[in-house]
Amino acid sequence: MEKDRLDPWGETFIGNYERLHKEFGIERIDSVLPRFKRPSLHLRRGIDFGHRDLGRVLDAVDNDKPFVIRFGWTNGGGHIMDGMGYEIWNGYDYVSYMNPWPGEGNSEDLFSWMVSASDHRWTHTLRVR
């Protein structure tokens, strides 16, 4: 029997979400849902079924503290950025951050893109005290 796999761009049927929570260390989204003042459509409809480290991001944002984001490049290596906030604009979840790469600076991107795209994965979060 083929194992369930996570493929946000594919059409793979996931029959056992509970197993994905255990196998990939994904926390249930409902553990942080009450913390959102205005949950996005994806959160309200249960499209986003889980998260990793979102609680840490929300802790930092709630306490006006920066947080560190580490991207792991799909071809190896990584990149560190300074997370500054989390907002919902027009029903979409965005993370604001400062990218120290020359010419980049402050930016906002969709939370879903920050978590995973073709060239990177959000691998680590560190809350700054």
Does 119 map to a domain? yes
Does 114 map to a domain? yes
pTM, to two decimals:
0.63
Q: How many domains does the chain have?
A: 1
Does 47 map to a domain? yes
Contact 66, 129 (CB under 8 A): no
**CA gap 40, 89 in Å, rounded:** 9
More confident: 37 or 76: 76
How far CA 61 is from CA of 42, 84, 111, 116, 120, in Å, comes to: 20, 7, 14, 21, 23
* DSSP bridge partners of 51: 27
Does 118 map to a domain? yes
Does 41 map to a domain? yes
The band of 42, judged by pLDDT with boundaries at 50, 70 and 90, is confident
pLDDT digits (tens, 9 = 90+) for 7-35: 555 556 667 778 777 877 788 888 888 88
More confident: 82 or 44: 82
Does 6 map to a domain? no
Does 81 map to a domain? yes
Domain enclosing residue 61, as ranges: 17-127
Q: What is the identity of the amino acid at 52?
A: R
Does 11 map to a domain? no
